[in-house]
């Protein structure tokens, strides 16, 4: 059972991993934790076909823990996060949830589902999730009855109204854009938002459908942007794509696909003396560009890690290359792709030329994430062995610096390479960037050789 309790969330295959007994126990022991912070928890779910069933089981567990469930129905994940920072009228008084649980499989295949959890406005992750898993497994004998009572709340309406007010200056704006929701949950929020703001768009796959009949809902994979690119070729100026639960974004013009780290740099340019947190996979262009106008902080990959550091430092913004963007500036500090789209539209309306700004940046050559298969048992040991080998040969290999915040980011005179162990799957993740294709290939080959040597060392 323990494999479903992951670093940043709980995730597994419906019925095989996430069955009635397990989900009710997750709700019960999670409810006991939430109850220490307050009486109320908000539950919402994404577009997957089994999300309503998981909701019934989860709510039964929360009720058994004497938590009062506020239910917001089918919404994107950022709506659940939003509920944790806002009050709802219950029994004649305004109450704020002490915790929130979004039932979502994010961008995973249709048979997957899971839970993203917030308690006391902070992500519930890491050792807290692992400890929950151990407690659920140790108490598998407990039987929890069906009890699906919950108080319905207008979570989506409150979220849409908030964004409509915050971005009222966009009313009637026509950026000639297309939006691909990939049949995920984002469309249920974006549709009324466009209507209230009188913004027109070519709409692709807004209808929630957990079988994802048109393409996989992961906008970080180029193949999933094919339909959006066709609309751009036919005349749209800009395109937005969302993952299955609406917390990751892709933004494209006819000429460029602007990754999360480059977007973070552009957002920083609209702020005074910005402080921005990036993950170890972010381009050096982002770090250098932000340090020229403010302060950039490099941190571990993972939406929970970035949210926590954002709160601790009071930074303005955090970003992952994959399209998780976290605004603390004028917002609540969680990853919200729909809010991010509105900030981009605001910049377009104010005259920001994304193509021109992109073409001013230093030309660097980079790879996307490249996955190296291994095992969960060996992946962290391989990283430790790799660190030792690199430090032994630092001067011989011409290494300027080795950053060990999350795996190893190896910095050379003309580029860098990253090798890190995935927290959620049995792989090593690599990424490379350099000033020329030749330097890129040289760094990539060198580090791949070192990975193989580290693997041999581990056995």
Decide if 395 is catalytic: no
One of 48, 71, 324, 444 is an active-site residue; which one?
Answer: 324
Question: Is 456 marked active-site?
Answer: no
Nearest Cα to Cα of residue 261 among 361, 132, 144, 406: 361
Marked catalytic residue, from 106, 220, 322, 422: 106
Q: Is 303 part of the annotated catalytic residue set?
A: no
Positions annotated as catalytic residues are 11, 106, 324
């Amino acid at each position: 059972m323990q494999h479903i309790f992951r670093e940043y969330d709980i995730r597994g295959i419906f019925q095989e991993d996430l069955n009635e007994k397990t989900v009710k126990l997750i709700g019960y022991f999670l409810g006991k934790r939430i109850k220490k912070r307050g009486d109320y928890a908000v539950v919402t779910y994404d577009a997957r076909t089994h999300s309503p069933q998981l909701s019934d089981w989860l709510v039964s567990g929360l009720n058994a823990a004497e938590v009062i469930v506020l239910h917001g129905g089918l919404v994107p994940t950022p709506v659940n996060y939003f509920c944790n920072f806002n009050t709802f009228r219950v029994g004649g008084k305004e109450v704020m949830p002490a915790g929130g649980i979004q039932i979502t499989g994010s961008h995973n295949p249709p048979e997957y589902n899971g839970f993203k959890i917030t308690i006391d406005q902070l992500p519930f992750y890491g050792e807290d999730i692992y400890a929950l898993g151990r407690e659920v497994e140790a108490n598998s004998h407990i039987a929890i009855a069906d009890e699906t009572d919950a108080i319905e709340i207008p979570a989506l309406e409150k979220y849409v109204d908030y964004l409509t007010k915050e971005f009222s200056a966009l009313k009637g704006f026509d950026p000639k854009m297309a939006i691909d929701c990939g049949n995920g949950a984002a469309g249920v929020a974006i549709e009324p938002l466009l209507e209230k703001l009188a913004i027109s768009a070519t709409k692709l796959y807004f209808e929630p459908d957990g079988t994802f009949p048109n393409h996989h809902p992961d906008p970080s994979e180029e193949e999933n942007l094919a339909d959006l690119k066709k609309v751009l070729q036919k005349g749209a100026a800009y395109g937005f794509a969302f993952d299955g639960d609406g917390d990751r974004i892709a933004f494209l013009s006819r000429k460029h696909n602007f990754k999360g780290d480059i977007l973070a740099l552009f957002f920083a340019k609209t702020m005074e003396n910005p402080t921005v947190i990036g993950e170890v996979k972010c381009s050096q262009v982002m770090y250098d560009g932000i340090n020229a106008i403010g302060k950039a902080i490099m941190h571990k990959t993972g939406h929970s890690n970035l949210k926590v550091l954002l709160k601790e430092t009071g930074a303005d913004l955090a970003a992952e290359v994959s399209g998780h963007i976290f605004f603390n500036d004028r917002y609540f500090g969680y990853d919200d792709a729909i809010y991010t789209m509105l900030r981009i539209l605001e910049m377009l309306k104010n005259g920001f030329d994304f193509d021109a700004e992109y073409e001013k940046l230093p030309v660097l050559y980079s790879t996307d994430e490249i996955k190296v298969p291994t095992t969960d048992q060996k992946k962290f040991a391989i990283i430790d062995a790799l660190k030792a080998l690199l430090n032994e040969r630092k001067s011989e290999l011409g290494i300027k610096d080795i950053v060990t915040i999350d795996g190893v980011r190896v910095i050379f005179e003309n580029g860098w390479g990253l090798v890190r162990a995935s927290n959620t799957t049995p792989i090593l993740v690599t990424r490379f960037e350099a000033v020329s294709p030749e330097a890129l290939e040289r760094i990539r080959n060198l580090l791949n050789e070192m990975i193989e040597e580290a693997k041999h060392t581990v056995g």
